[in-house]
Amino acid sequence: MSRSVSKKAAPLPVLQVCAEIFPLLKTGGLADVAGALPSAVRAQGVDMRVLLPGFAPILAGMVSAREVARLPARGDVPAARLLYGRLPACECDAYVIDAPALYLREGGPYADARQQPFADNHLRFARLGWAAAEIANGVDSQWVPRVVHAHDWHAGLVPTCMRQLAVAARSVFTIHNLAYQGLFPGETFQELGLPAACFAMDGLEFYGQVSFMKAALQDADRITTVSPRYAREIQTAEQGMGLDGLLRSRATRLSGILNGVDTAVWNPARDAAIAAPYTAQDLRGKAVCKAALQAELGLQAAPERLLLTVVSRLTEQKGLPLLQVNLPKLLQRGVQIAMLGSGDAELEQAFTAIAKAHPLQVAVRLGYDEPLAHRLIAGADVILVPSLFEPCGLTQLYGLAYGTLPLVRHVGGLADTVVDCSLEALQEHTASGFVFHDFSPEAMDAALRRAELLYGQPTFWQQLQRTGMAQRHDWEAAATRYAGLYRDCWTAAK
C-alpha cells in the first residue's frame, strides 16, 4: 500500500530593505528591529536577506563578498555595484550597494559631522529603492524575493520603483516614525529616474515637495507600523503629520505589529556589559549594578536615592523639555538622573550645564554608547520615556526586561506596553510602571512623585519589577505576525 508523503513548504524568500542594522550601524531603534527580524522570521519559514547601503561599517562587517550585478544609472541616480555576502554579526546574508561616492563619507549615515543632512540624500536613498526593485526583478538569478519589506523613509521609494519595473514581488512598508518623511525640494524629482506622472497628488508630491514616505504609503501592497495604537493614532489629524487622510484611505492595508526585544542582547541574567547578573527571582545583582553605575558616573553613592535614566534622542518628540522643566524640583527632592543621548543643541547644552552644576546628582553623556546604555538601564531604578508621540519605543521594553520601571506618557507603543501602578493594577499584579496622560510638566511631575513614593515601599516596588520582568516581549509573536503578513501578501498576488 502506498503512503503519501507530505512535503515541507519551501521557505518564502523575503528581501528586507533598510539603511542601518544592529550591531554594525545604529542611530536608533530601526537598527535593532532590522537586526533582529531576519533570525526571528527564519524560524517561521521565511528566507530573509537584507539590502543595505554600502556604509563603511556595513562593508567592514561583510565576509565572502562577491559582485552579483552592475546596477544601471536611473536619472541622476548613479550606477553602482551590487555585492552579496554574509554579515556574521547580524547572522544574515546581505546585498550591499557598493557606491563609495554616495556612502563613504565623514559623519553619520544621513548627516555630516556638523549634523547637517547630506544635500544629495534623495539620490543616496533613491539608489536604495532602485536596487531593491532590481533585485526583485531578478538581477541575481540565484535568488528572487517574493516579498520586499522596506523600512522607513530611507526605503520609501522601494514600492514605487518596484511598480515601475512591473515586478511580480509584493511590497510591505513599515513606518517606524511618521515624523521623518524624507522630504526634498520639488525640483529634485526630475533627478530620481521616475516618470513625470509619479510627481502627482496620488504619488510622491506633498505640498510641492517630494516625499519618500508618501510614495511608500501610496504604492505599498501592505503597510505596517510598530505598535497597534500607533497604527490608529496616525490616522488622526493630531498625529497623522499631514498624511492621515491617505492613511485612512488605506486603512484596510494598514496594521500595527508591536516590536520585540532581542533577548540574546537584552537579558540581565546574561548581559556581559553590566556589573552583575540578576533575575526576577533574585534581584540582588541589580543593587550591584546601581552602585557600579553611580561610581562610574561620579554620582553620590546612595542606594536610597531614586536613580532615573534617559537613553534617548534629546528632542521634543521624546518629551525631554518636560524633564528640563521638572529637573530643579527633582534635584530639590534628592533624585539622581543619568542621561545618554544626543539631539537638539539647546537641550544638549541645558542638560550638560545642569550636570556640571550638580555633578553628584546629574550625569550626562552625549552621543550613543551601546555598552553604557546597558549599564544605565541595568543600574537605574526608573527609565523615562515621556514622549509627545511614540510609534513603539524600545527603551521602555528594555526597562521592563531589566526591572527598571518605565515612566511613560500614555501614547503609541508606550500605552500598549506599560500598565500604570493604580491601586487596582497593584492589587491585580498587572502594574508595571508609571503612566501620565497630558503632555505637561505638571502631569509628568505627578507621575514622578508617585514613583518616588512607591520607591520607599520595597515590597510594592519589587512587585512591579517582577511583573515587568515576567512579561514576554521577545520577537516570536512579532515574527509570527510578519511571516503571516508576508504569506498573505504573496498569496493575494497570485
Report pLDDT digits (tens) over 238-290: 999 999 999 999 999 999 999 999 898 999 999 999 999 999 999 999 999 99
Q: Which residue has the cell 527564519?
A: 42
Same domain? 451 vs 484: no
Residues 310 and 341: beta-carbon distance below 8 Å: yes
Q: How does strand 170-175 pair with strand 382-385?
A: unpaired
Q: Which amino acid is residue 373, in one-letter code?
A: A
Containing structural domain, residue 192: 12-260+476-493
Same domain? 387 vs 455: yes
Nearest to 80 by CA among 119, 106, 54: 54
Same domain? 153 vs 62: yes
Q: Is residue 376 part of a domain?
A: yes
Same domain? 182 vs 61: yes
Model pLDDT, residue 115: 85
Residue 323, all three cell numbers = 524633564
Task: Measure the CA–CA gap between 419 and 213, rounded to whole angstroms.
Answer: 32
Show the beta-strand stretches assigned E in 330-370. 336-341, 362-366
Residues 271 and 378: beta-carbon distance below 8 Å: yes
Same domain? 251 vs 299: no
Same domain? 353 vs 421: yes
0.85 surpassed by pTM: yes
Q: Is residue 321 part of a domain?
A: yes
pLDDT digits (tens, 9 = 90+) for 101-146: 999 999 999 999 888 999 999 999 999 999 999 999 999 999 999 9
Lowest mean pLDDT among 50-54, 221-225, 261-265, 371-375: 261-265
Model pLDDT, residue 183: 98
Give the CATH number of the domain where residue 172 resides.
Answer: 3.40.50.2000
> How many domains does one find in the chain?
2
